[in-house]
Amino acid sequence: MRAAVYCRLSEEDREKRSASEDSASIQNQQSMLLQYAARQGWEIYRIYSDDDYAGADRSRPAFQQLLRDAEARRFDVILCKTQSRFTRELELVEKYIHGLFPLWGIRFVSIVDNADTANKGNKKSRQINGLVNEWYLEDMSENIRSVLTNRRENGLHIGSTALYGYRKDPERKGHLLIDEEAAAVVREVFTLFAQGMGKSAIARLLNDRGIPNPTEYKRQKGLRHSQPKRKNSTLWKYAAIADMLENEMYIGTMVQGRYGSVSYKTKQNRPRPREAWYRVEGTHEAIIDRELWERVRLLREQRAKPFASGNVGLFSRKARCASCGYALRSTKSKGRRYLTCPNRHVATNACDGAFISEERLENAILAELLRFTDAYLDWDALERGVSLNGSLDAQRAYLLKRISICEKKAQECAKATRTLYLDKVKGILSESDYMEFAQEFAHEKTRLSDALAEMQAELAETETRITAGESHRELLRQYTAPSRLTRELVEQFIDHIDIGRRISGTRNVPICIYWKL
């Protein structure tokens, strides 16, 4: 038997001896597991170790390598100290330990909590361990969130880095001090704008003088910073100036919570509404006085674009400059919209400078779509029997499948509730544990019931539309040969578009469309 040993240590329980070596706890895990494997007579295939990674982090490098090797059947057993070292998510327990590992012929063993897939009788205990670990993650996330919320409400800075123009106070945690070198640049930006200079002109002035942008400044000072992802990442841009001019941190107001996590299971963040931000005035020394701030604010309002409808632009984040790779910025002139590279005017020779009207780009994409449909689609055959993913028939089949899955889960939930009761009667579960699990299953049953009602209502509406006899040809034409582009079509069919500089002596602009087809 070949055994793969997996060890994990998270930040909260680490005991580093030095930055270059594994934590002592990792070494203890390895020693314990190697001794166990020796007693079983197992050959060690490899030791997989993730240090400073949480149990809910699915991107752990050694964990991902372990799964790839498991799928390739390179060993027979996965050996861990506890099931939570492998994962704290119940979803992954079911997916791998109870699902894929048996299919791949791999046994899972954790020696402290006696989880062993070779023992069919302890599957329930593994599931309970997974559920408890899941609750631990959720409770820990809520605890951390409440602490951070309290600190934000009290005006304490909790970011990993200070805003450009400030530095962290080494003697007072959560307090900011002015960084005079960077603050001088901030004051100049506000002053120049108040004197009538535009944001792109200010960016160009700073770049021509060789002043590093905030990211490059932090890199030069040896401070924590985000890694550059594109060319010209050291240059000042229009967006950086715009963000600076409206940031209330520069008048002594602590503003935090602009972004919030989607879930404790992911590191992804999303913007929060302005009214949900945490704002506390007078928490640190202001770089910009109130008088200058008000002058800048009034100028920003006067220059605000009149077409800010709140909708995402047709080519937002899709059209890129072929020269530098930055997303093109939408501008408006004489009633027409244009896409231009933000690096076009920020510095001398910063970029070739892509420029094209939105109308021209839209016409080029529509022409290419029409060419595709004429070349590759047989309209009569499509109308007779081909059903697109977005058709009503496919939608009905999808809803029926989801309803069936939801009903099956509801039945499993009811069965699990009955099993819990029997376990309580037999003395396997205590009264308190039974009540906790029963309440959780009751919540899940309510959620499934609500979801089932929504899907059934959607199914009834879909069947009504099918009965009404909508034209298949019109639906096909709508998605394959549209007369106008919509943001939905751009998102569905286009990965991104590279726009080059107009070819000298012609009206031709190089356009390269990267389709998702």
Helix (H) / strand (E) containing 291 = helix 290-303
Say yes or no to pLDDT of 183 above 70: yes
For residues 398 and 487, the answer to whether their CB atoms sit within 8 Å is no
pLDDT for the residue 306:
40
Model confidence at 290, pLDDT cuts 50, 70, 90, reads: very high
Q: What is the Cβ-side half-sphere exposure of residue 424, based on CA atoms within 13 angstroms?
A: 15
Kindly report the average pLDDT of the chain as a whole number.
Answer: 80
Question: CA separation (Å) from 491 to 310, 329, 337, 477, 486?
Answer: 17, 17, 20, 18, 9
Q: Is 337 buried (19+), middle (13-18) or exposed (0-12) by CB count in 10 A? A: middle
Model confidence at 307, pLDDT cuts 50, 70, 90, reads: very low
Tokens of 482: 């549209």
pLDDT per residue over 85-117, tens digit each? 888 888 888 889 888 998 999 999 998 888 888
For residues 166 and 249, the answer to whether their CB atoms sit within 8 Å is yes
Three-state SS letters, 66-122 = HHHHHHCCCCCEEEECCHHHHCCCHHHHHHHHHHHHHHCCCEEEECCCCEECCCHHH
pLDDT for the residue 293:
93
The mean per-residue pLDDT over the stretch 500-509 comes to: 85
Three-state SS at 404: helix
pTM assigned to the model:
0.47
pLDDT per residue over 32-65, tens digit each? 899 999 999 999 999 999 887 877 778 889 999 9
Helices (H) and strands (E) in the chain, counts: 17, 17
| Span of 85-89, 349-353, 435-439, 453-457 with lowest mean pLDDT | 349-353
Share of the chain above pLDDT 70, in %: 79
Q: How far is CA 274 from the centre of its chain?
A: 20
Q: What is the Cβ-side half-sphere exposure of residue 379, based on CA atoms within 13 angstroms?
A: 16
Rounded to whole angstroms, the Cα distance separating 294 from 315 reads: 34
Model confidence at 70, pLDDT cuts 50, 70, 90, reads: very high
Rounded to whole angstroms, the Cα distance separating 358 from 330 reads: 8
Topology, domain 2-134: Rossmann fold (3.40.50)
Rounded to whole angstroms, the Cα distance separating 269 from 258 reads: 10
pLDDT for the residue 283:
92
Topology, domain 154-303: Hect, E3 ligase catalytic domain fold (3.90.1750)
Rounded to whole angstroms, the Cα distance separating 409 from 215 reads: 49
Q: DSSP string covering 137-165, please?
A: HHHHHHHHHHHHHHHHHTT----SSPPTT
Model confidence at 291, pLDDT cuts 50, 70, 90, reads: very high
Model confidence at 387, pLDDT cuts 50, 70, 90, reads: very low
pLDDT for the residue 480:
60
Beta strands in 262-303 (DSSP E): 269-271, 278-280
pLDDT per residue over 448-474, tens digit each? 888 888 888 888 877 776 665 454 455
Say yes or no to pLDDT of 488 above 80: no
Across 378-409, b (16+ Cβ under 10 Å) vs e yields ebeebeeeeeeeebbeebbeebeeebeebeeb
Give me the amino acid identity at 422.
L
pLDDT per residue over 206-240, tens digit each? 988 889 999 889 888 887 656 555 555 678 888 88
pLDDT per residue over 118-132, tens digit each? 887 667 676 777 667
Residue with the larger pLDDT of the pair 324 and 244: 244
pLDDT per residue over 399-423, tens digit each? 888 888 888 888 887 787 777 777 7
For residues 338 and 356, the answer to whether their CB atoms sit within 8 Å is yes
Three-state SS at 28: helix
